[in-house]
Chain A
Amino acid sequence: MNLAGNRTVAVSSSILLFVTMLAVVGPWISPHEYLTTDFSRILLAPAATNMQFFGTDDLGRDLFVRTMLGIRVTLLIAVVASMVSLVIGVAYGAIAGYVGGRVDAVMMRFVDTLYALPFIFLVILLMVAFESNFFLIFVAIGAINWLDMARIVRGQTLSLREREFVEAARLIGVSTPRIILRHIAPNMLGIVVVYLTLTIPQAILVESFLSFLGLGIQEPQTSLGALVDAGVNQMEGASWMLLIPATLLALILMCFNFLGDGLRDVFDARRKS
């Protein structure tokens, strides 16, 4: 299992690394600009000539550059939003778990309440009420994703706090910050990394869903979700406009999910050995 886990991790992280590199470097290499419209060259199918590997859209813009840009935006939003949820979730969960008692009960009651909310609809409402912008998208995704992290970290802290080796450290006289740093945090790291990895595809999903509905990233900026949306409108005549961003989006999501699964296998195996 450990071996299988390692292989999954290696393959999926290599693909992700490659896609990211391509998204960063691609637009520099390509002679095209993501904004430039060329009405003499609309809806061209993918071709190596003129370096328009992914063809052009209905405004004659180069789709390779736009797709790479879309990947950048999608990944950036997902990673930053996940980091935000990581920080909030870990802090919230660790406090609730370590302090325990009433504080924990109240804090977790709040999380439970939020959990029952249909967040995605509130987010849509938020996007409707205010003009969509990057900051709002971060807030929206962060608001959804920190809950899981908080629950997991709280559960881990709570159970680690009761573990005998933590009690032994208390008895020796190890200070609370040092207990958290030396005894609790290292034992929680694995599971937090796994969930962080699994939070990223969640964030990608939310962002691309909003963009697909036309409520997320706005033109002329783009993301994979927005590209899929544009592709749907042209799918009968120019199926590549749908299939290319759709495939890349699915590939990225799949790699993150596999990476998370693989990491979990690796950490599980380590815990059992």
Chain B
Amino acid sequence: MLRYTLLRLLGAIPTLLLVIVLAFLMVHAAPGGPFDDERVLPADVEANIAKAYHLDESLPKQFVRYMSGLLRGDLGPSYRYRDHTVSELIRSGFPLSLQLGAMAITLALLAGVSAGTVAALRQDSLLDRVIMSFAMTGISIPVFVIAPVLVLLLAVKVHWLPAGWSGSAGAAKFVLPVFTLALPQIAYIARLTRASMIDVLGRDFIRTARAQGLSTSTLVRVHALKPAMLPVLSYMGPAIAAILTGSVVVEEVFGIPGLGQFFVRGALNRDYTLVLGIVIFYATLIVFLNLLVDILYGVIDPRVRYK
């Protein structure tokens, strides 16, 4: 088990390195400097700025400088938020994004797995069909469509819930963003759970367990749930990535001052260091969460563990 974990950990390093190199190269291969669209500056001022940001150095040198900073947790200064480093910005924006994301993924798992299990146990019933129609709708409507439409319907038209973030207080302001973020994942997880639960319930060992007189609830709890959760667990990696992507939209639409908003603003303002920093931060997060999922998979499936 320890060996398996260490191997996985080792395997994550090239992936991360690849992300960093790719992202770094992309930013530095960009045509034109980061300040091109500003007022034309006197040559000496421009040189000073370039020097301050080490843009006068060769690319490998800049990369080494960036990497050594990265290892110390220093992602350099932001080009636009002049008084802040990228690390500071990430530290200020991430807690809120993390809170949103964690709430969304928890909601998605609870709602998705329950809905999927119910649908599987009542296969082909009306309830099953209703759940699955909702799920199909859920996976088909992108977050950037749901978010504004829900704001329009529930906040602008009927004022049930606050439309924005600032000014409103309490738990109510979390409802729409978290739900919006979770909805596609609820739908996807429900479909996944239903399919794998139906598959597992059709397996021979379930028939054996039924032959032993196990009640349906025991059957699901003791025998079916664990194997049926394996595909859902595998999906956690992509789900986390999707939630991060979605948070970019949700934070933009609801005006939430999280990391996603920094990212969009940074992207639109061509704040290269900020965008680069956040991409690397996200990548690290995703790679390590994927790693966690892999290890969990090994815990659940004995055949993976002993390989």
Measured CB to CB, the nearest residue on chain B to A208 is: B142
Partner of B142, one of A117, A126, A209: A209
Residues 126 to 180 of chain B near chain A (Cβ within 8 Å): 136-137, 139-142, 144-145, 148-149, 151-152, 156
CB closest chain-A residue, reference B18: A113
| A228 contacts B241, C-beta separation under 8 Å | no
A201 to B15, alpha carbons, bound, how many Å? 27
Q: Does B275 contact A (CB under 8 A)?
A: yes
Whether the Cβ atoms of A201 and B140 lie closer than 8 Å is yes
Could you count the A-B residue pairs with CB atoms below 8 Å apart for me: how many are there? 122
How many residues belonging to B are interface residues under a CB distance threshold of 8 Å? 48
Q: With an 8 A cutoff between CB atoms, is A125 at the interface? A: yes
| Separation of A208 and B136 alpha carbons in the complex (Å) | 19
Map CB proximity to B onto A113-152 as digits: 1 under 8 Å, 0 otherwise: 1001110111011111110000000000000000000000
For A129, A212, A239, A257, which residue has the most chain B Cβ atoms within 10 angstroms? A129
Q: How far is the CB of B148 from chain A (nearest CB, A)?
A: 4
**Does B15 contact A249, Cβ atoms closer than 8 Å?**
no
A225→B249 CA distance, assembly (Å): 12
Known: A118-B241, A130-B30. A257 touches B139 (CB 8 A): yes
A126-B148 contact, Cβ under 8 Å, with A121-B279, A208-B142: no
Q: Mark A66-84, 1 if CB is under 8 A from B, else 0.
A: 0000000000000000000
The smallest C-beta distance from B160 to any residue of chain A, in angstroms, reads 16
Decide: A116 near B287, CB < 8 A? Known: A121-B282, A208-B142, A235-B148. yes
A231 to B100, CA, bound (A): 25
Q: Is the interface of B mostly helix, strand, loop or mixed?
A: helix
B267 interfacial by beta-carbon distance below 8 Å: yes
Take A118-B282, A250-B145, A257-B140 as given contacts and tell me if A130 and B18 are in contact as well, using a CB distance cutoff of 8 Å. Answer: no
The distance in angstroms between the C-alpha atoms of A249 and B141, with both chains bound, is 8
Interface centre among B136, B145, B244, B272 (most CB of A within 10 A): B145
Q: Taking the complex as formed, is B31 at the interface, i.e. its CB lies under 8 A from any CB of chain A?
A: yes
**For the complex, is B29 an interface residue (Cβ under 8 Å from A)?**
yes
In chain A, positions 194-214 with a C-beta closer than 8 Å to chain B are 201, 205, 208-209, 212-214
A217 to B270, CA, bound (A): 17
Interface residues of B in 11-48 (CB under 8 A from A): 12, 14-15, 18-19, 22-23, 26-27, 29-31
B-contacting residues, A207-230, CB 8 Å: 208-209, 212-215, 225, 228-229
17 new A-B pairs (CB below 8 Å) besides A130-B31, A246-B145? Answer: A113-B14, A113-B15, A116-B287, A117-B15, A117-B22, A124-B275, A125-B27, A128-B267, A129-B26, A129-B30, A208-B144, A213-B248, A235-B148, A242-B152, A243-B149, A246-B149, A250-B141
Task: Give the 4 A-B residue pairs with the shortest CB-CB distance, closest first.
Answer: A129-B30, A254-B140, A253-B140, A232-B148
